């Protein structure tokens, strides 16, 4: 199993098994927590299940909650407390009907517009610094060849 024979087959088999496990996990999770797009027209078995909305902008207030923007249209969220209009919130909620959710919990995402791009910039800078620190490992004299035999 650990020899170098048929290593490409072993690698392909390991990758295939990993993808199978990922697919099975995604199916199990989607049965428990359906995608937030389903709220627009939920199937009958999705009513009462929990969905998550991440960093959605609050459009307006209603007497019993608030309305958030979504790619499938506005969603009305029933909640005892309401965030400010224009604020970004993440919500864990139960599906009550088409475009209607009952908030179990919500949190404000202050600075979302700034934090996300800074996260990408910081990640790129870390990769550049790590590659610079290990730059000696990547230097190969061309005349010796890029690939050398172990024998």
Domain residue extents for the chain:
1-32, 36-108, 112-136
Local structure of residue 46 (DSSP, 8 states): G
pLDDT of the residue at 113:
77
pLDDT of the residue at 151:
57
Residues in contact with 57: Cβ distance below 8 Å, sequence separation at least 6, in sequence order: 68, 69, 86, 87, 88
Number of DSSP helices (H) and strands (E) in the chain, helices first: 2, 5
Is residue 45 within 8 A of residue 67, CB to CB? The reply is no
CB atoms within 10 A of CB 22: 10
pLDDT of the residue at 37:
83
Give the three-class secondary structure for 57.
strand
pTM of the model: 0.64
- Which CB contacts under 8 angstroms, 24+ apart, belong to 30-36? 34/95, 36/70, 36/72
**H/E segment holding residue 114:** helix 112-133
**H/E segment holding residue 77:** strand 75-78
Is residue 68 within 8 A of residue 57, CB to CB? The reply is yes
Beta bridge mates, 88: 57
Report the C-alpha gap between 49 and 120 in whole angstroms. Answer: 33
- Name which CATH class applies to 36-108: mainly beta
pLDDT of the residue at 90:
93
Report the C-alpha gap between 28 and 95 in whole angstroms. Answer: 18
Query: pLDDT tens string for the chain (151 positions)?
Result: 566 778 889 889 999 999 999 999 999 988 788 888 878 888 888 888 889 998 899 999 999 999 999 888 899 999 999 999 989 999 999 999 899 999 999 999 888 778 888 999 999 999 999 988 887 776 666 666 656 655 5
């Amino acid at each position: 199993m650990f020899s170098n024979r048929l290593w490409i087959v072993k690698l392909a088999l390991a990758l295939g098994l990993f993808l199978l496990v990922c697919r099975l996990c995604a199916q199990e999770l989607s049965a428990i927590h359906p995608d937030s797009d389903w709220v627009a027209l939920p199937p009958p078995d999705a009513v009462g299940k929990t969905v998550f909305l991440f960093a959605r902008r609050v459009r307006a207030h209603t007497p019993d909650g608030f309305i958030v923007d979504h790619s499938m249209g506005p969603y009305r969220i029933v909640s005892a407390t309401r965030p400010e209009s224009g604020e970004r919130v993440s919500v864990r909620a139960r599906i009550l009907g088409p475009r209607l959710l009952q908030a179990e919990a919500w949190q404000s995402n202050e600075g979302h517009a700034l934090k996300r791009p800074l996260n990408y910039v910081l990640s790129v800078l870390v990769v550049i610094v790590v590659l610079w620190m290990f730059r000696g490992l990547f230097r190969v004299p061309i005349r010796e060849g890029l690939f050398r035999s172990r024998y």
